[in-house]
Amino acid sequence: MNKVLVSLVALVATTLVVSPGSAQQLASLETSRIVIAPPQSALARTIKSGLSAAYYGARPDTRAHEEAQRLYFLYGERHFEPIWLAEQANGTVTFSPAATKIITLFENAASEGLDPSDYLTPQIDAARLSGDGIELATLETAFSAATMRYADHLHNGRIDPQSISTLLDLKRKPINEAALLEQLARSNDPAAILMQLEPQHREFQALKAALANFEQSSAARPTPISDGPVLRPGNSDARLPAIRARLELAASTSQLYDDLTVDAIRSFQKGQGLEVDGIIGPATVAALNGGVATRREDIIANMERWRWMPSDLGDFTVFVNIPEFRLSILRNGQEEYTTRVVVGTTKNQTPIFSDSIRHVVVNPYWNVPSSIIRGEIAPAILRNPGYTDSHNMDLLYNGATVSPWQVDWTQVSPSNFPFRVRQRPGAGNALGQIKFLFPNKHDVYLHDTPSKSLFARSYRAFSHGCVRVQNPMEFADALMANEPNISRASLESMFGPSERWVNPQKQIPVHLAYFTLRVEEDGTIRSFGDLYGHNEKLIAAMGLDAIEPPAIVAEAETAPRELSP
């Protein structure tokens, strides 16, 4: 029994206080005195015995010990009395009404994009209600573990983002299991309480509705255009008949990318806001597959990523969707401003996380990241010490500027390069004239760029990880809408040779997100390419698709060689 209880308590989630309102009202735990109340019934004594054995039998400083302790304290505060089991007058033991309703939620978990088998475990078996005290105690704690697992999956998702990629740097939202379990046990409507834990974001709720209607609408759902090589006029490809059908051209079995189809693709690209080049690359294929969610697993994977997001995005916030290559400013969930962005390459991916914009820097220095120094700048300086002057750069050692002509470069290599490098403000600065800082461990931010031509492309993954903004001064004006003393004009008046820092009165939440499906206000679902492969890896991790994840979307176009963040 001890082994069973240890395995059960290891499934219980971490802490967050649930109030009767909404998930956004959840409060932090305060330190309080722990009281272990003595059991007052035979079943309670059995529960205590099992939990005590699990607690004291686990090795200290392990997750099993920590979670066994948490469950022991949880039941200890209530005299180890069961939460979910009720003893009737005739001596029989039954599930409480609340437990019965929660079991129904477990059975219908697929409607939430979850897996019922995660909660309807072998330990939760109604037939065992006639078992002995040890079996009943095991069933009681198993049900608490399953309920908290279900609550945690609603709130945080089934999959740890870091298991998909270390660049998915998203914080888990804690749950106070004691408060939640007590609230659920007393409630006549436990489903309403648990549904407070799922994302309330408009797009999540729309995807959930699309999942519910998926089977009914499947007959009208066209077969998706598959990924493949970039198609240029004159190429041949087996996908061309399907592409013509999607464009509602005359039916043809020809696999030639002919002039009629090129003209139709150009018109389609113009209507979708893509680069009008007649080239069918990943962005155009994704757009052709847009309008409806083509796969059930795509809906579920995007719902999972919404669960990874903060419960409250902020009343006034910046939202960057990496696969969409687009930035938006949202006020109360409504878009006030949008512009194109350039994001990291598949090799230098933009990380996914949330933070707050705290500073605006005009005429910024570019403090070159060490990875770019080692990989690109150090070798260039070793070949030509004049490289720094030609690129308006300073060589720094212990904070002091060093002339490259005073260094014995025969003693230096890229691997032992002892200098920091920064690029001075100016027209050729890789950050352009302005950057928007939200200090973070990834050293990424939003910024201007002198490489304006890349914004005309439909595929815009060309940076070293930072996010380049197409219209940075328009963005700055929209971003400072709530700041009485900062405007586009005041920022532009600072243009010059010296770096200038501006600190808004209010920090502005910024979210670097990764959604391959977006839901527009009218309910239309648009599809975007899986730029970094995160979507297919998540689908595989959730057990939704037995097919091996495809390779990361190839870069359809190459950018001019440049140094940039």
Q: Report residue 236 as tokens.
A: 């041949």
- Annotated catalytic, 359? no
- Annotated catalytic, 155? no
Bridge partner list, 422 = 367, 394
Choosing from 447, 464, 511, 534, the catalytic residue is 447
Find the angle CA(144)-CA(145)-CA(150) to the nearest 5 degrees: 100
Bridge partner list, 526 = 518
What DSSP element (H or E) covers 468? strand 467-469
Q: How far is CA 486 from CA 239, 245, 319, 448, in A?
A: 52, 52, 21, 18
Burial group, residue 334, by CB count within 10 angstroms (0-12, 13-18, 19+): exposed
Q: Virtual CA dihedral for 141, 145, 150, 156, nearest 10 degrees?
A: 160
Amino acid, single-letter form, for residue 342: V
- 554 close to 420: Cβ distance less than 8 angstroms: no
* 3-state SS assignment for residue 500: strand
Choosing from 153, 155, 201, 466, the catalytic residue is 466
Among 561, 150, 222, CA closest to 376: 561
Q: 2-9 and 42-57 are packed helices; what angle lies between their axes, rounded to 10 degrees?
A: 80
Q: Report residue 8 as tokens.
A: 């059960």
Pairing of strands 508-513, 316-321: parallel
Among 492, 497, 485, 375, CA closest to 429: 497
Tokens 């949008």, residue?
338
Gap between the Cα atoms of 398 and 421, Å rounded: 11
Gap between the Cα atoms of 180 and 468, Å rounded: 43
What DSSP element (H or E) covers 479? helix 472-479
What residues act catalytically? 447, 466
